[in-house]
Amino acid sequence: TERTLVLIKPDGVARNLTGAILARIEAKGYSLVELKKVDATRELLEQHYEEHVGKPFYEPLVEFMLSGPVVAAIFEGHRVIEGFRSLAGTTDPTTAAPGTIRGDFGRDWGLKVQQNLVHGSDSTESADREIKIWFQG
């Protein structure tokens, strides 16, 4: 069955939302396969965010992801990749729909990068690649 990589970003961990976020994913019906708290490194993030290298928000994004621990999880279930992204909501937390993780728990703090609580893989190729980076790196 399909798997996705979920990250609870440093803002989610710092605000003690880890349990609430994991509970929503489980409540939707997806199964937790792996879970760990990680201090990311610049090298790991460069691999994870390779598609964004060179964009204006890349460096602030990496600094943000290095600002505190993240929680990495693998969730499993039929169509979990699109299911989790739907649950997470759109990238900008200010306008993410209420009822989503970003819409309910997030906002714009006026910082250089969108602090939007979670990451989820966007395709089966990304999921395979990202799971290797975070769990078999």
| Comparison of 66 and 113: residue with beta carbon closer to ligand GTP | 113
119 annotated active-site:
yes
Residues 135, 137: Cα–Cα separation, whole Å = 6
Residues 116, 109: Cα–Cα separation, whole Å = 10
Site string for ligand GTP, 59-98 (x = CB under 6 A): --x-----------------------------x-------
Residue 77 φ/ψ, nearest 5 degrees:
160, 160
List Cβ neighbours of 60 (8 Å cut-off, separation of 6 or more).
111, 112, 113
Residues 109, 86: Cα–Cα separation, whole Å = 23
135 is in an annotated binding site: no
Among 10, 116, 127, 130, which residue interacts with ligand GTP (rule: CB under 6 A)? 116
Among 12, 114, 127, 130, which residue interacts with ligand GTP (rule: CB under 6 A)? 114
Q: Which residues bind ligand GTP (CB under 6 A)?
A: 57, 61, 91, 113-114, 116, 119-120, 122
Residues serving a catalytic function are 119
